[in-house]
């Protein structure tokens, strides 16, 4: 029997994808089915009006490429239109706070969505099942309703003190949101209660029948454009009609004899390649996993990659990204030498605000096809057009409102994101298929999971479960399972150490490992997900 495996943060979506694999669908069919269900059962994490990055590997058919479907700024934007409204920037670099939260919640926060176009493109070109059958499980979940799960409940109720809109305010922004997410007494729905979304079921039924065209140039597109125009939104019908995904060759890197393929800018693959290049210069095994020396070394690597990202990486259609230099072994060697000399990196930020949520799906089927896809709403806009049921992305909030920056506003431009769905190869065969949600923590979580497998011989579940830390600013952030005895020497050496109250923090990594011809999967225990093996 052939073995397949799927891992994602939502059990309902994993089960839907696994059922497709049992029915004879391939990894692409399963991944897109899973993604569509994720948009129903975890509707602030992703959806048809979101964005993302997909890596597809089909060795028997000779296909290996990425589909970039980042949200693009509408044609009406101007680079200086919000400059006078700046109040702060996230310490991890995930966006800006403006007066009135105009970029963060509401109709002007929405970029041109790419998710549905990418789902349809991948599945109709490389799947084996009918598109309507792929959409059907999501329709059924929207009709029957899904439960409020612990991770969803946490996201709804977190108080981050950031200056950004709170999630509950996003949920109540629209008439549909108030009906779906709140009880009749005005209270937010609680753990285990059911979310019913008949509007989304109807919308998905139309998409199942007519494909993505109805969303980008048909009746749904016209409905979207009219709602945006009525409420002062930037998104227009022409923006939807002219949106295209970007197909690219993978960005390649190497680490200790392994090769890895990840995504091109504006995705976060460049950071992952750069960090692994630096870490090749250190004996991590000798340091010991999560030791003081290990943490000090890895956070210095993280800070340098973050600074390079902030200074040089943006949408390559608008910014000249020095990719060859950033990914070169020579550049990494120079930075590693500086770390060995004791030089500390720094990351400059404006006043602090905090960050985001996303989701992921990883699939490998019995024929060796693999998909790693990370997709998101960013910080969801709160906007739900009456009758359509889905929430739009809020990705305008991550553009830099200062002109002249790598991520400044421009019509049709995508902003950098840390999304980096990745496949690691050993002897030219996939051995790790991995990705994660988590804002700018994504690359940091994936990095540590790869190190856990390659340098410390963990399986995938152990790798995604091990305590993590991060440095996307000049401070060191650590999860609460990293002992204080480990971090105290860092504080005594003058580092700022910020301890998270969470035991599992800094992205939610999900992945698949292929070892000796057998697969094992990992679902980050910080979320609600699972990895499921399918025998066919």
CA distances from 288 to 206, 294, 444, 451, 505 (A): 55, 7, 18, 12, 21
- Residue 89 clears pLDDT 50, i.e. is over it: yes
Q: What is the mean pLDDT of the chain?
A: 94
Q: What is the pLDDT of residues 515-532, one digit of tens each?
A: 998 999 999 999 999 999
For residue 354, the model assigns a pLDDT of 37
Handedness of CA 239, 216, 381, 96 (dihedral sign): negative
pLDDT at 95: 72
How many other C-beta atoms are found inside a 10 Å radius of the C-beta of residue 460? 29
Across residues 399-425, what is the average pLDDT? Answer: 92
| HEC string for 325-382 | HHCCHHHHHHHHHHHHCCCCCCCCCCCCCCCCCCEEEEEECCCCCEEEEEEECCCCCC
At residue 357 the predicted structure's pLDDT band, cuts being 50, 70 and 90, is low
| pLDDT tens digit sequence for 453-498 | 999 999 999 999 999 999 998 999 999 999 999 999 999 999 999 9
pLDDT, position 252: 98
Residue 350: per-residue pLDDT: 52
Average pLDDT estimate for 328-339:
98
- CA 39 to CA 54: how far, in whole Å? 16
pLDDT digits over 292-322, tens only? 999 999 999 999 999 999 889 989 999 999 9
Question: How confident is the model at residue 96, as a pLDDT?
Answer: 82
Tell me how far apart the alpha carbons of residues 298 and 288 are, in angstroms, rounded to a whole number: 12
List the structure tokens of 83.
């400059």
224-248 pLDDT, tens digit per residue, is: 999 999 999 999 999 999 999 999 9
For the ranges 4-8, 133-137, 501-505, which has the lowest average pLDDT?
Answer: 501-505
* CATH 3.30.930.10 is held by the domain 248-353+423-524: no
The Cα 247–Cα 55 span in angstroms is: 10
> 22-33: per-residue pLDDT in tens?
999 999 999 999
The residue extents of the domains of the chain are: 3-246+354-398, 248-353+423-524
């Amino acid at each position: 029997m052939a073995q397949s495996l799927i891992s994602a943060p939502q059990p309902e979506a994993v089960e839907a994808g696994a059922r497709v694999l049992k029915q004879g669908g391939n990894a692409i069919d399963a991944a897109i089915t899973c993604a569509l269900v994720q948009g129903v059962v975890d509707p602030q994490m992703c959806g048809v009006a979101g964005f993302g990055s997909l890596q597809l590997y089909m060795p028997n058919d000779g296909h290996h490429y990425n589909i970039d479907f980042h949200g693009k700024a509408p044609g009406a934007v101007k680079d200086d239109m919000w400059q006078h409204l700046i109040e702060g920037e996230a310490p991890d670099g995930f966006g800006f706070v403006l007066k009135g939260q105009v970029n963060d919640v509401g109709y002007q926060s929405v970029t041109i969505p790419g998710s549905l176009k990418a789902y349809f493109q991948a599945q109709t070109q490389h799947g084996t099942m009918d598109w309507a059958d792929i959409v059907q499980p999501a329709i059924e979940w929207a009709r029957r309703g899904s439960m409020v799960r612990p991770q969803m409940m946490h996201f709804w109720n977190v108080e981050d003190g950031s200056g950004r809109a709170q999630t509950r305010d996003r949920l109540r922004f629209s008439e549909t949101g108030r009906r779906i997410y709140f009880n009749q007494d005005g209270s937010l729905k609680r753990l285990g209660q059911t979310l019913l979304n008949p509007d989304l079921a109807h919308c998905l039924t139309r998409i199942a029948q007519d494909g993505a065209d109805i969303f980008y140039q048909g009746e749904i597109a016209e409905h979207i454009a009219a709602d945006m125009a009525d409420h002062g939104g930037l998104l227009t019908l022409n923006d939807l009609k002219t949106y295209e995904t970007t197909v690219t060759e993978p960005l390649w890197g190497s680490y200790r004899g392994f090769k890895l393929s990840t995504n091109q800018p504006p995705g976060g693959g460049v950071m992952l390649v750069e960090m692994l290049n630096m870490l090749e210069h250190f004996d991590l095994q000798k340091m010991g996993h999560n030791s003081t020396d290990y943490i000090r070394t890895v956070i210095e690597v993280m800070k340098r990659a973050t600074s390079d990202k902030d200074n040089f990486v943006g949408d390559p259609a608008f910014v000249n990204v020095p990719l060859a230099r950033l990914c070169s072994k020579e550049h990494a060697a120079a930075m590693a030498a500086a770390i060995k000399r004791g030089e500390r990196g720094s990351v400059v930020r404006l006043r602090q605000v905090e960050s985001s949520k996303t989701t992921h799906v990883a699939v490998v089927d019995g024929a060796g096809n693999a998909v790693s896809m990370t997709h998101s709403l960013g910080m969801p806009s709160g906007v739900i057009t009456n009758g359509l049921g889905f929430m739009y992305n809020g990705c305008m909030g991550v553009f830099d409102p200062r002109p002249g920056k790598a991520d400044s506003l421009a019509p049709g431009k995508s902003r950098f994101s840390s999304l980096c769905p990745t496949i690691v190869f050993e002897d030219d065969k996939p051995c790790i298929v991995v990705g994660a949600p988590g804002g700018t923590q994504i690359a940091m979580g994936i990095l540590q999971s790869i190190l856990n497998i390659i340098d410390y011989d963990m399986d995938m579940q152990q790798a995604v479960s091990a305590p993590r830390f991060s440095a996307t600013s000049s401070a060191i952030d650590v999860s609460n399972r990293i002992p204080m005895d480990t971090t105290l020497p860092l504080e005594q050496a003058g580092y700022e150490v910020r301890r998270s109250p969470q035991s599992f923090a800094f992205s939610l990594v999900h992945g698949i490992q292929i070892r000796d011809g057998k697969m094992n999967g990992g679902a980050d225990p910080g979320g609600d997900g699972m990895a499921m093996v399918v025998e066919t």
